[in-house]
Structure 1
């Protein structure tokens, strides 16, 4: 059984949540483009954008990892790191009084997931064990 479809579905729902939150703030501030100086809207736009910048690449890497028949536990660990990182980052950046520690921890977990997945894939290619 594959693990990644579970995480992809969770990330898909999270993306929709972030999208609707941004849309609602746009509607409230009557801004179709940009943020018009609205700090809450600016933060929502950046959380949404940051998610869109990192998650697709991470999911592709995780898919490649899973397709190489690595243990489900390893895929769960790397995907969980990514999920925790994105949730923590979104929380930290969404606060009008930003809590930098949440932003930093969120990015560290995100980079750890992407970095470790990339290194394992490189090892697989180097060792010639890629399926």
Structure 2
């Protein structure tokens, strides 16, 4: 079964991950830093923006996939997925600005909200009134002949 919403959000996350990673390279080259941040607060902020993304994205993507697989509302999955991607873009932009700032704070808060809502949604699907046993139908495979 294809999971078009999750696949689309995962592709957006892959592009976002690449953008966050590539922003680090000029700082490394400028400071001739091969490992760590070389004492540069700007480079540290870029690295943390990238690392922070990689800390949240797997949980969100797994939850999106499982909720989509459970047959939940596509409209709300799109809202959650797009909100997560926008939150992480805002956070990434905010990390290179003086703190506190609305992009960083808003991105973090929206990320937490999306993660909490997806976790609650997953639990509701697993243990809620709608948690009836489901069967997965497999299509018969025709013999090549």
Establish whether TM, by shorter chain, passes 0.5. Answer: yes
Query: What per-residue deviation string (whole Å, max 9, x for no partner) do you get for residues 18-65 of structure 1?
Result: 111112211221111111121211111010110111111111111111
- Kindly tell me the number of residue pairs found equivalent between the two proteins: 130
1:14 to 9, 13, 16: 16
Q: Shift in Å at residue 130 of structure 1?
A: 6.5
Moved more, 54-63 or 19-28: 19-28
**Contact 1:124–1:130 (CA<8 Å) still a contact in 2?**
no
Q: Secondary structure at the match of 2:99?
A: coil
Runs of 4+ in 1 over 4 A off after TM superposition: none
* Matched residue, 1:113: 114
Who is 2:85 aligned against?
83
**What is the CA–CA distance in structure 1 between the aligned matches of 2:69 and 2:14, rounded to whole Å?**
20
Equivalent residue of 1:35, what SS? coil
Relative to the length of structure 1, the TM-score reads 0.91
TM (norm. structure 2) is: 0.83
Aligned Cα RMSD in Å?
A: 1.5
Counterpart position of 1:26: 28
**CA distance in 1 between partners of 2:132 and 2:36 (Å):** 48
**Superposition map of 1:20-99 within 5 A:** 20-95=22-97, 97-99=98-100
Identify the residue that residue 141 of structure 2 maps to in structure 1: none
